[in-house]
Amino acid sequence: MQSSLAKTAAHFDNRLLAALPKDDRRAILANCEAVELRLGEIISEPGEQIRNVYFPTDSVLSLMTPPVDHAGLEVRLVGNEGMIGTPLVLGVEVTRLCTFVQCAGPAWRMSSEGFTRALRQSDALQARLNRYLDVLANQGTQLLACTRFHLVEARLARWLLMTQDRAHSDHFHVTHELLARLLGVRRVGVTKAASALQARKLIRYRRGNVTVLDRAGLQDAACGCYGAAEALYEQSMG
């Protein structure tokens, strides 16, 4: 009988796994364990060996560049549309990014050995993840342009929409300090942008707790990168 945690993990499908042929998906899930990821939990640090891959179902993870002469910058936000541990698809066993849990919740976890074996055994998994890597590369290029050319308020609106999509909720927790790190701006810039969105009654923000009040209005406030990134995923992944 499926455990209660496994049932929770399956409440929202991981879209990468859900799109696989039934037999491939069943074989992969048989080698996964359902885990509950905790808010702020560090999944991996730069330079570490990849020991596990994660397929989020109702959790959200953030991947950030390692700090050099800055505090780091978020380069990817992953929910049930993706996975953590993509370097293994290319045969790379070490991660170069810091990965931590942005929104707590369930995920499927699989050992790196089990995942590598699944790649060898499932052409469908390999093909789908090749497509996913292409999507990530294109989204990364788009994010670079977004960071360079778009205003903080528009970028914050985009980030909030992306998090709402992946958290499957209008409510989630994130502090001004963390938002400043994620967006690569000063905290005062995030405070000003969040206050502007709140003044327009698009969000409510209290003590790190965000509530999206007007999604349509938030979309209008966001830069066009929001819809473009999602359209790219749908076009490539279906």
State the pLDDT confidence band at 11, using cuts at 50, 70 and 90: low
Task: Identify whether the C-beta of residue 166 lies closer than 8 Å to the C-beta of residue 159.
Answer: no
Quick: pLDDT tens for 175-192. 999 999 899 899 999 999
Counting beta carbons within 10 angstroms of the beta carbon of residue 174, is it exposed (0 to 12), middle (13 to 18) or buried (19 or more)? buried
| Residue range 2-12: mean pLDDT, rounded | 47
Whole-angstrom distance, CA of residue 83 vs CA of residue 86: 7
Instruction: Give the single-character DSSP code of 88.
Output: G
Instruction: Give the single-character DSSP code of 23.
Output: H
Using DSSP, state whether 125 is helix, strand or coil: helix
State the pLDDT confidence band at 144, using cuts at 50, 70 and 90: confident
Whole-angstrom distance, CA of residue 21 vs CA of residue 152: 42
Q: What mean pLDDT, rounded, does the chain reach?
A: 92
Instruction: Give the single-character DSSP code of 71.
Output: S
Quick: pLDDT tens for 111-122. 999 999 999 999
Q: What is the pLDDT of residue 5?
A: 43
Burial 58-68 (b: 16+ CB within 10 A, else e): bbbbbbbbeee
Locate all alpha helices (DSSP H) within 19-122, ordered by sequence.
22-29, 112-121
C-alpha distances (whole Å) from 193 to each of 129, 160, 201 are 36, 12, 13
Quick: pLDDT tens for 41-99. 999 999 999 999 999 999 999 999 987 666 678 999 999 999 999 999 999 999 999 99
Q: What is the pLDDT of residue 204?
A: 97
Residues 6+ apart with CB under 8 A from 100: 40, 41, 42, 43, 61, 62, 64
| Residue range 133-153: mean pLDDT, rounded | 92
Identify the bridge partners of residue 212 per DSSP, sorted by sequence position: 203
